[in-house]
Chain A
């Protein structure tokens, strides 16, 4: 995968537009419970953390699936769930270390971020810039730069603490 979703939780305002966009793109309705990208909320801290499939190498969810329903499109690399093969054993949910594989609230089949075929819907609606679609190293570079320049300008680091 040359590009993945990267997250900057300190920028996330918790607006949930990403969950709405994802569910709308996949289901045609606004259904955060069916979104492939989920926000972890810490209500009393007003903090929110987006979580979605990280496209691991040797993905545990794919390895553990007994029927081969959890896989990727061989030509594009995007995740693909073959529902006709899925037996709803939920091993994939247990195997994913991030909790990024969830079950569809109606069908019970696993849901997993498929990057919308290369044009992720969530990125387009995140005005806060908390979700981007880019090569992995770029996110780290940006974070380093933000911290260094901010630290020199102000007393403390104004974000990300306590998140």
Chain B
């Protein structure tokens, strides 16, 4: 009997799962449903597209390794409205029902745009290719862009905009400093400095309270600029606002079907609490291996691994996903930042850090109860891969980059 697998979402998790299923269960039918009308593309490369160093062709993911595999059917423009677990099928917006033996929900996450801006025609998130196209068009025609959110995505978008030739970018951040959770206080100062040097107007501790406009310009009949009212009382003129203010897991499909909190609850086999239904990617909650807390780790690489693990289990081959170690690599206008695990430890006797600062590079290794718990590299990021491998193994080699003590100034911050 030919097994039928249905995957909702053709992002990192969905594609990885499709590929895995096609290989593990060659006689099966894998149906990949995506609401997007364009062929699947690499989301992380969208900022390269914005910067003008990649074309849409460069973004496309090769079908022969994913949805082009035998047994896999990609259906574009197929939005799934509901899941009927008792009947073992999903319901499309068109009303069509698609049966499954095992279902993987990989709908990812949706941009979380602040309420004051939601739905405004001049506000765009930066999640899909359509979003990226819109921002690229605005930049090309010299429009004034304001970026909301100086987290990883906001910084990437800003860097791409500068590379594309945009000037006078304003970057607004609600929190007191940029890249919260990714860099510590020193890293934040270094990043802020680099942004300032690059002509980016970074304003921290500021949110947008309201949007006015666009005003119609009588002379041209076209649409003029909008005005952003800021929480510090200021006003900002803009043509386009790019909201990089985080994502919310797209759990709507499974609400009422399986357990969800902020994300969908899964075990280490990526099974949800509903029988026969798996979830993987940006919409699930997994264990942060360093902090021991449940978290939504919206990262392409994690999603791929989770998709493969889900697929394995769907095909009856046991596999586990233990959890995530948060990692980010960001280029801040040419200043490299590589960050993993916990880099800004809370007060407490079990945390200690080793900091090496020298010209051109700031490096911080964080330990919890003497074991590696996180690392931050700013400037010189070559050792990031080795440090991440060590972090996953639970130790850094004494003569590896984790113990590089040749720096001129080393500060051991003990657990006290």
6 contacts between A and B (CB under 8 A): A27-B408, A28-B358, A28-B359, A28-B409, A29-B408, A29-B409
Q: How far is the CA of A28 from the CA of B186 in the complex (A)?
A: 14
Chain B residue nearest to A106 in the complex (CB): B408
What string of 1s and 0s marks CB contacts (under 8 Å) between A28-60 and chain B?
110000000000000000000000000000000
- Residues of B352-378 at the interface with A, using a CB-CB cut-off of 8 Å, are 357-359
- Which residue on A lies nearest to B357, using beta carbons? A28
Tally A-B pairs: CB < 8 A.
Answer: 9
Report B-chain residues with C-beta under 8 Å of the C-beta of A29: 408-409
Residues on B close to A: CB < 8 A?
357-359, 408-409
A contact residues around B408 at 8 Å (CB): 27-29
Contact string against B for A residues 1-35, beta-carbon threshold 8 Å, 1 for contact and 0 otherwise: 00000000000000000000000000111000000
Could you list 7 further interchain pairs (A-B, Cβ under 8 angstroms) beyond the known A28-B359, A29-B409? A27-B359, A27-B408, A28-B357, A28-B358, A28-B408, A28-B409, A29-B408
A31: nearest residue on chain B (CB-CB)? B408
Closest residue on chain A to residue B409 by CB atoms: A29
CA distance A28 to B361 in the complex (A): 10
Chain A residue nearest in CB terms to B358 = A28
Q: How far is the CA of A29 from the CA of B357 in the complex (A)?
A: 9
> How far does the Cβ of B178 sit from chain A's closest Cβ, in whole Å?
22
**Smallest beta-carbon distance B380→chain A, Å:** 13
Q: How far apart are the CA atoms of A37 and B390 in the complex, in Å?
A: 44
In the assembled complex, the Cα of A29 lies from the Cα of B359 at a distance in Å of 9
CB distance from B189 to the nearest CB of A (A): 14
Name the residue on A nearest B361 (C-beta).
A28
**Across the interface, which residues of A come within 8 angstroms of B359, CB to CB?**
27-28
Name which residue of chain B comes closest to A28, CB basis. B359
* A residues in contact with B357, CB < 8 Å: 28
Question: Which chain B residue shows the least CB distance to A26?
Answer: B359
The 8 A-B pairs of least Cβ separation, nearest first, read A28-B359, A29-B409, A28-B358, A29-B408, A28-B357, A27-B359, A28-B409, A28-B408
Q: Which residue of A lies closest to B408 (CB)?
A: A29
Residues on the B chain within 8 Å of A27, using CB: 359, 408
Least CB separation from B359: chain A residue: A28
Tell me the nearest residue of chain A to B407, going by C-beta: A28
Q: How far is the CB of B407 from chain A (nearest CB, A)?
A: 10
Query: In the bound complex, how far is the Cα of B359 from the Cα of A28, in angstroms?
Result: 6
Q: B409: shortest Cβ distance to chain A, in Å?
A: 6
Bound-complex Cα distance A28 to B408 (A)? 9
Shortest Cβ distance from A84 into chain B, in angstroms?
A: 17
**With A and B bound together, what is the CA distance between A28 and B411 in angstroms?**
14
Q: How far is the CA of A29 from the CA of B358 in the complex (A)?
A: 8
Complex: A27 Cα to B360 Cα, angstroms: 10
State the CA gap A28–B409 with chains docked (Å): 9
A26 CA / B409 CA spacing, docked (Å) = 14
Cα–Cα distance between A27 and B357 once the two chains are bound (Å): 11
Complex contacts, A28 vs chain B, CB 8 Å: 357-359, 408-409
Cα A128 to Cα B358 in complex, Å, equals: 30
How close is B364's CB to chain A, nearest CB, in angstroms? 15
The CA of A29 and the CA of B356, in the complex, are separated in Å by: 12
List the B residue with the shortest CB-CB distance to A29: B409
B328 shortest CB reach to chain A, Å = 25
- In the assembled complex, the Cα of A28 lies from the Cα of B362 at a distance in Å of 11
Q: How far is the CA of A41 from the CA of B358 in the complex (A)?
A: 30
Nearest-Cβ distance from residue A25 to partner chain B, whole angstroms: 10
Say how far A53's CB is from chain B's closest CB, in angstroms. 21
Contacts of B409 in A (CB 8 A): 28-29
CA distance A29 to B409 in the complex (A): 8
What 1/0 flags go to A120-148 for Cβ under 8 Å of B? 00000000000000000000000000000
> What A residues does B358 contact at CB under 8 A?
28
Once bound together, how far apart are the Cα atoms of A61 and B358, in whole Å?
30
**Distance of B363 from chain A, by nearest CB (Å):** 13
Interchain CA distance A27-B359 in the complex, whole Å: 7
A27 to B409, CA, bound (A): 11
CB distance from B412 to the nearest CB of A (A): 16
State how many angstroms separate the Cβ of A49 from the closest Cβ of chain B.
29
Docked complex Cα distance between A55 and B321 (Å)? 65
* Shortest CB distance B21–A (Å): 53
Complexed CA–CA distance, A117 and B211 (Å): 42
CB distance from A33 to the nearest CB of B (A): 13
Bound-complex Cα distance A28 to B357 (A): 8
> Could you tell me the distance between the alpha carbons of A29 and B408 in the complex, rounded to whole angstroms?
9
Bound-state CA distance A27–B408 (Å) is 10
Q: How far is the CA of A155 from the CA of B260 in the complex (A)?
A: 86
